[in-house]
Amino acid sequence: MPKQILKFPAGFLWGSATSAYQIEGGNTNDWSEWEKSEVRSNKLEKEGKNLDDYLCGSACKSYELFGEDIKCLKELNCSAYRLGLEWSRLEPEAGKFDKSAIAHYRLILKTLKENQIKIVLTLWHWTNPVWLIKQGGWENQKVRQYFSRYARLIVNELGDLVDFWVILNEPLMIIGHGYLDGKFPPNKKFNPTLFKVIYNFLAVHKQSYKIIHNRYPKARVSLAMTTGAFTPANIYNPLDRLMVKLANYFRNDWFLNRLKGYFDYIGVNYYHHDRLSWRPPFRKNLNKKITDLGWEIYPAGLEQVLKNYQKYQKPIYILENGIADADDKLRPDFIKDHLFYAHQAIKQGIDVRGYFYWSLLDNFEWAEGYWPKFGLYAVDRKTFKRTARPSAKVYAEICKNNRVVIS
């Protein structure tokens, strides 16, 4: 078969994504404290796991070695980088900001600008200052005024360097794993306080959106949505089709619908597909190809998600899409196949303007620790040396030529 050459629109953003806590290292926040908690340690010991592999610790040491990360971005020919800030570094005590941390983040952003890399800045990516948690965290309505104070600091000190803003990253993941299944801190199961958390997330986003736009009226502001693609296990079964409609609404639309008028683009994080049935076990995936984490690889689902968001009539940026693949055997095709479906969406008139691979580096993958390898670059945990995987060269060619070649 002849090769397919899929050209992307001029100005399409090619990037990679990280979060502050997962790569920076050397920080104290609610996650670092939870990792060392007795409940967490006992659970890991019972499972026979090495505790050190589940402590973030030094991570990739990117707080100090950010220059090495920028070299990686340049090698990849990335035109943009999605990175995060650590609220707990910037405001280690309530109302007291760390000037050296502000200056350090400003240096990172300025260095990116000097290297002609656009900045997509995430204000909150799951972690919180310890002082906030002691006051009830996101269950306490005071988080609204605390986060507004933090957002104003960032806007005033760093806002002139930011190209795109992400206020919240995947808030529904914290709802699901923090308050429904108890996998993440605060480890609550089917807890009704989740409704307080949801409405605080919504309020914080709206307040922060106004703060950013008051200072920068032309700012591009949004959040990163954790999305899912759903298909019926039996296409002819109306109950299966109903399950798909419900799942799509609550996973992809419900939260976003409550923020209408408060986002300038849509940020899509896509990893998951489920074939749904109305009968247990509800999820009936075929799993012909899976990631190291056991997630089904379903590239066509990205097109489905993008088509769903067309109704909002906003530009769309794929802010996260990646694979845990330690052997790097599946990653090259994973990237190309997902970009094929992104290109299909663009051909249909959907306004997709950028793609960010998750992740630039092997990093600390939250409750899963260090064993899942998402990075285009492997990181030696002792020396912190970054080493490009073969898939990095594949992605670098895509970014350089603004096209995907499918053989």
CA atoms of 323 and 346, how far apart (whole Å): 23
* Percent of residues, the chain, with pLDDT higher than 70: 100
Mean pLDDT value of segment 286-299 = 97
* pLDDT of 393 over the 80 cut: yes
Whole-number pLDDT of residue 258: 98
The string of DSSP letters for 25-56 reads -S--SHHHHHHTSHHHHHHHHHTT--GGGG--
pLDDT at 1 over 80: no
Range in 43-52, 93-102, 264-273 with the lowest mean pLDDT: 43-52
Q: Are 79 and 60 in contact (CB under 8 A)?
A: no
Beta bridge partners of 229: 273
Query: Is residue 86 predicted with pLDDT exceeding 90?
Result: yes
**Closest C-alpha among 179, 173, 175, 259 to residue 223:** 259
If you compute the radius of gyration of the chain from its CA atoms, what whole number of angstroms results? 20
Q: Residue 2 pLDDT more than 90?
A: no
Mean pLDDT, range 53-73, rounded to an integer? 98
pLDDT reported for residue 173: 98
The model's pLDDT over 372-382, given as tens digits with 9 standing for 90+, comes to 999 999 999 99
pLDDT at 386 over 80: yes
Phi, psi of 136, deg, nearest 5: 105, 0
Identity of the residue numbered 148: S
Query: pTM of the full predicted structure?
Result: 0.98
* % of the chain with per-residue pLDDT over 90: 99
> What tens digit of pLDDT does each residue of 119-129 get?
999 999 999 99
The band of 407, judged by pLDDT with boundaries at 50, 70 and 90, is confident
pLDDT digits (tens, 9 = 90+) for 144-178: 999 999 999 999 999 999 999 999 999 999 999 99
Q: Compute how many other C-beta atoms are within 10 angstroms of the C-beta atom of residue 45.
A: 11
Mean confidence (pLDDT) of the chain: 97
Q: What is the DSSP string of 54-104?
A: G--TTTT-TTT-HHHHHHHHHHTT-SEEEEE--HHHH-SBTTB--HHHHHH
pLDDT per residue as tens digits for the range 315-363: 999 999 999 999 999 999 999 999 999 999 999 999 999 999 999 999 9
Specify whether the CB–CB gap between 40 and 53 falls below 8 A. Answer: no
Q: Has residue 134 got a pLDDT over 90? A: yes
Average pLDDT of the segment spanning 104-112 = 98
